[in-house]
A and B are shown apart, each in its own frame.
Chain A
Amino acid sequence: MSAEPIKFYQVGSFAVGNRLLDITERSAQSDPSRPNSINSGHRACQGCGEALGARYALDAAMRATAGDMVAVNATGCLEVFSTPYPETSWQIPWLHSLFGNAPAVATGVAAAMKVKGRETRVVGQAGDGGTVDIGMGALSGMFERNDDVLFICYDNEAYMNTGVQRSGATPPAARTATTQAVGDHPGNVFGQGKDLPRIAMAHEIPYVATATVANLRDLEAKVEKAMQMRGARYIHVLVPCPLGWGSASKDTILLARLAMESGLFPVFEAEYGEVTSVLPVRRRVPVTEYLRLQKRYAHLFHPEPDASTLERLQAMADRNFRRYDIQEVDV
């Protein structure tokens, strides 16, 4: 874990704030004068994980750069719900071009800043569709050239804005509009899709990390660390989507936590292609505890439990525990 855990017995390093902590040790989100990079009045659904994840990440980046930064956004929910013309929710310099070219535009902005002799930092951001599918080529180029951009993917595991279509990040067995829960193998197929954090690692860029909205301090520490580095950096943030996942709006953070604690979403960081730290799991749970809360997996439980599919999903989680050597400790 990149964040040095602050040991408190009432709330560990897990709650957003802590009145007992020195002000400099508190999270960016607990600051009453935090920038609120994305403002109220945005049109994200109730309980949107992406709106939350974007504010977490960008506020931390703003703190790390003392407000001297630009965000470049791909098309996607985040862009649509935040900027219905002529309104904007962005309280930071923010630029949108196309769905597929956000990494290339970010590269251009970084180059332009360099030419102008300015220190302004650049953050590119997109949903999973804009990252793993449509923007993949531009992103891979940005990685390969080691351009000085932090690219953040807010992964809600499908094209939610256009009506929940499958993306390259949709997990196996999940129901989407294009992978209906019908036939012999309902939902999304096994064995397809892209694990972008590993693809990014294969580019051997300076920094790759995963995070979730369920562990704010970990997410903030990773963004801050990334902003202190130069070159191409990538952070992949899991952001549950109540609409697309068919979950209760109040359960957004809970689901992110369960994804992490079940092992389905390993939280780690890597430098130059090598894993350098893995977040331990505090209370390991079976995958069913995570799946059951989401209607996109309802066909795995009704009318009859689909034991073989559930086993395969559990095996994926178990493999992550092995692959990343995830420890089970109570910190």
Chain B
Amino acid sequence: MDKPFAITLDVGSSLANKTGSWRTERPLYMNSLPPCNDACPAGENIQGWLYEAEEGRYQRAWQLIVADNPFPAIMGRVCYHPCQTACNRAQLDQPVGINSVERFLGDVALQEKWPLPMEAVESGKRVLVVGAGPSGLSAAYHLRRFGHSVVIRDAGPKSGGMMRFGIPSYRLPRDVLDAEIQRILDMGVELHLKSPVTDVLAAKEEGSFDAVFVAVGAQVGKRAYVPAGESAKILDAVTLLRDMEGEERPLLGRRVVVYGGGNTAMDAARTAKRLGAEEAIVVYRRTRDRMPAHDIEVEEALEEGVLIRWLSTIKSVDAGSMTVERMELDDTGFPQPTGEFEELAADSLVLALGQDTDLSLMQDVPGIEIADGVVQVDERMMTGVDGIFAGGDMVPSERTVTVAVGHGKQAARAVDGWLRGVAFEHAPRPQLATFDRLNTWYYTDAPKTVRPTLDAARRVSTFDEVKQGLDEQTAVYEARRCLSCGNCFGCDNCFGVCPDNAVLKLPRGSAEGDNGRDYAFDLDYCKGCGICVNECPSGAIVMIPEP
């Protein structure tokens, strides 16, 4: 024994002292559901693709979007982005401009000609999709990825449904629309245009299809009875917007009145302006806060010089003028007539009072339930008839492109499950990552990048796209504003703040750690203090009682 004076034991390491035995609670890496993902009608993993975009891995980000939604470039233009409404960052400074990043990714993909993923083995099953709108195309895309052969039939002369015949080109340029649809057709989806289906069961039989997904939309403009003189020019907004895609542009005159308060009314008024109308006046019977149109649409319409008459209804129409009655809201918020009338000079009246759906192809099919003008479906999107599914504007729902795309995805999964004889189950929804679960001290303020908007004066005379995209630098900046709510983003805080070095950092992207993370808890030494939980910026660690 050769030790210094008064030393009797060998030097030992404190590693012999397993302090993990002190613990009564332990940390656990657990992801929760970011509010953006929760709010997305198409079920996109937004936080997931923003994470990839933050590092400039655009193709990977884009692939994550198209796993759920085949139209990133379209979404980036027409989606009303409920994700941004739900975004936790709004409580810090401003919501992340998710929509503009999606558009950037969608445009890069079109530029680089990235193909949609198609790896499935052919199933030998045939599915008919009726309607080549957002819902039908989305369903076709997902069904094709499941390996089924898909035929789309559409009554119209071109594909896209309301994306083409309802949304003006200044919001959705047609080359973008065409390119994203073509990408789906390139996967081997068959498309028959000008091929209306009059009887859904006969069509199924005829083509020996195993299942049908019907998504014919709501294309019929609602009419209201307005007493009109003989030479009065009245048309509905759906027709107006559809005619914009034809050879001849509709003639509306110098003063155009649009009746209604929805997004379609705004589209019609803005289109009228672009067709040369000196005045486009929206007449709406309630007030702005009760208007169904989205704020951004109203904002842009007003910027372009569209006039809005609140609390007004149209009583009668004559050539060159119409009579308008002033309304008042009663206690329940319902507009009541006041008996005060006014003349309004106008060359034509466009009715934008909502849309109905043409269900003639299935209204006589026994078992299919139609209520309030729409088809009733179960949670699998299946109608009362086995193998006939329906979605989009023709079933009870909010009528937006994104909801329709979501329906298409959901229906495709249900059809696939039904064809394979297994019920499709939704994955359990994790707990919502609410703002109070974040440690926001770690995030710095950074207001969002506003997409450049075409100078209003220039855009009213053209059908050029109103909103321009972000360049790469701003798109990355915007993506990096994501708080990554409820999901680890590799900030190393847990690894750094542990007083006991009981968090292991594994090679990045290895997912070798706990719960697929790049970090793991060393339970031999973790004393269970909980600092890592407290200091996790995104709230992605929880404490659980020691088992």
Contacts and interface: CB of A to CB of B under 8 A. Distances in A.
A55 B443 CA distance: 24
Contacts of B462: none
B15 A250 contact: no
B489 A40 contact: no
B495 A9 contact: no
B517 to A, nearest CB: 13
Given A15-B491, A330-B444, A9 B13 contact: no
Interface in A178-227: 216
Interface in B209-265: none
Contacts of A330: 444-445
Contacts of B55: 19-20
Contact of B14 (A8, A18, A88): A88
B422 interface: no
A123 interface: no
A327 interface: no
A249 B496 contact: no
Given A41-B16, A254-B534, A12 B443 contact: yes
A16 B189 CA distance: 49
Contact of B13 (A19, A39, A52): A39
Interface string A243-255: 0000011111110
A126 B258 CA distance: 79
A216 B491 CA distance: 13
B22 A46 contact: yes
A257 interface: yes
A100 interface: no
A2 interface: no
A52 B14 contact: no
A249 to B, nearest CB: 4
A116 to B, nearest CB: 21
Interface stretch (B4-12, B172-180, B388-396, B400-408): B4-12
Interface stretch (A27-35, A67-75, A265-273): A27-35
B166 interface: no
A327 to B, nearest CB: 15
Given A39-B501, A86-B9, A47 B492 contact: no
A313 B529 CA distance: 29
Contacts of B12: 86-88
Nearest to B443: A11
A87 B16 contact: yes
A88 B13 contact: yes
A221 to B, nearest CB: 15
A48 interface: yes
B442 interface: yes
A114 B121 CA distance: 75
Given A29-B492, A30-B492, A87-B17, A49 B537 contact: no
Nearest to A14: B442
B18 interface: yes
A15 B501 CA distance: 17
A328 to B, nearest CB: 13
B522 A15 contact: no
Central interface residue in B15, B491, B530, B535, by most chain A CB within 10 Å: B491
A164 B442 CA distance: 32
A10 B481 contact: yes
Contacts of B18: 41
A18 B495 contact: no
A112 B512 CA distance: 47
B533 A250 contact: yes
A100 B46 CA distance: 58
A48 B497 CA distance: 11
Interface residues of B, number: 54
B530 A250 contact: yes
A26 B489 CA distance: 15
A39 B508 CA distance: 23
A14 B481 CA distance: 15
B477 A15 contact: no
Contact of A27 (B480, B496, B522, B527): B496
Contacts, number: 164
Interface centre among B480, B498, B501, B527, by most chain A C-beta atoms within 10 angstroms, is B501
B475 to A, nearest CB: 13
Contact of B531 (A7, A9, A252, A282): A252
Interface size class of A (residues with CB under 8 A): 35 or more
B491 A11 contact: yes
A51 interface: yes
B362 interface: no
A246 to B, nearest CB: 15
Interface in B438-452: 441-446
Interface in A229-254: 242, 248-254
A9 B9 contact: no
A172 B333 CA distance: 60
Contacts of A12: 442-444
A43 interface: yes
A85 B13 CA distance: 10
Interface string A128-148: 000000000000000000000
A63 B444 CA distance: 28
Given A20-B55, A46-B527, A250-B530, A29 B445 contact: no
A89 B498 CA distance: 15
Interface in B493-547: 493, 495-502, 505-506, 508, 522, 524-525, 527-531, 533-535, 537
Contacts of A216: 496
B534 A40 contact: no
B465 interface: no
Contact of B491 (A16, A55, A251): A16
Given A10-B482, A46-B528, A39 B496 contact: no
Contacts of A250: 529-531, 533-534
Nearest to A32: B505
Chain B CB within 10 A, most for which of A11, A12, A30, A88: A11
Nearest to B56: A20
Given A9-B444, A9-B481, A16-B491, A41 B14 contact: yes
A229 B535 CA distance: 33
- Per CB-CB distance, the 4 closest pairs between chain A and chain B, nearest first, are A17-B492, A16-B496, A250-B530, A41-B14
22 contacts: A9-B481, A14-B444, A16-B492, A18-B491, A27-B496, A29-B492, A30-B492, A36-B501, A41-B18, A41-B19, A43-B14, A46-B527, A47-B531, A52-B497, A86-B11, A87-B12, A87-B16, A87-B17, A250-B533, A252-B529, A252-B531, A254-B534
Given A30-B505, A44-B499, 18 more contacts: A14-B441, A15-B491, A16-B491, A40-B14, A40-B15, A42-B14, A42-B17, A46-B528, A47-B530, A48-B499, A52-B498, A82-B14, A87-B16, A88-B14, A250-B533, A253-B497, A253-B534, A283-B441
